[in-house]
């Protein structure tokens, strides 16, 4: 009986040890493919186009309230033709755990 209890306890601990890694891996796969859309007004554009500051409304998919944030852009040319004060629709994607603008268009 004692050997049975030891075997059950050992297998239980090995399952617990494997579980966090499995969840972390599954979470990363999910995060990479996750996108969210938002609308807002451009407050600033980095001269090199590497980032853009947007005052955006709530983004339900991310459970974010309305706020002003600076986002990196996936490609600098995404900001071409955009101006401060312009209303925009944008798409965010998760890149290494951070939101990055992958698409942005004037409204």
Q: What is the reported pTM?
A: 0.68
Read off the pLDDT of each residue in 13-30 and give the average, rounded to a whole number: 37
Name the region of 13 (left: φ>0; alpha: ψ -120 to 50; beta: rest): alpha
Give CA separation, 106 vs 40, 49, 59, 61, 64, in Å.
10, 16, 18, 21, 22
Instruction: Tell me the pLDDT tens digit for each residue of 60-104.
Output: 999 999 999 999 999 999 999 999 999 999 999 999 989 999 999
In angstroms, the CA 3 to CA 74 distance is 57
- Sequence length of the chain is 107
Contact 86, 69 (CB under 8 A): no
């Amino acid at each position: 009986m004692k050997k049975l209890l030891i075997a059950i306890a050992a297998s239980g601990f090995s399952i617990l040890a494997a579980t966090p890694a499995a969840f972390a891996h599954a979470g990363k796969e999910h995060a990479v493919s996750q996108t969210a859309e938002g609308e807002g007004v451009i407050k600033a554009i980095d001269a090199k186009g590497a980032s853009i500051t947007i005052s955006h409304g709530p983004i339900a998919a991310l459970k974010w309230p309305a706020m002003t944030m600076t986002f990196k852009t996936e490609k600098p040319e995404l900001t071409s033709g955009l101006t401060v004060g312009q209303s925009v629709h944008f798409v965010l994607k998760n890149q290494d755990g951070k939101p990055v603008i992958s698409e942005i268009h004037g409204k």
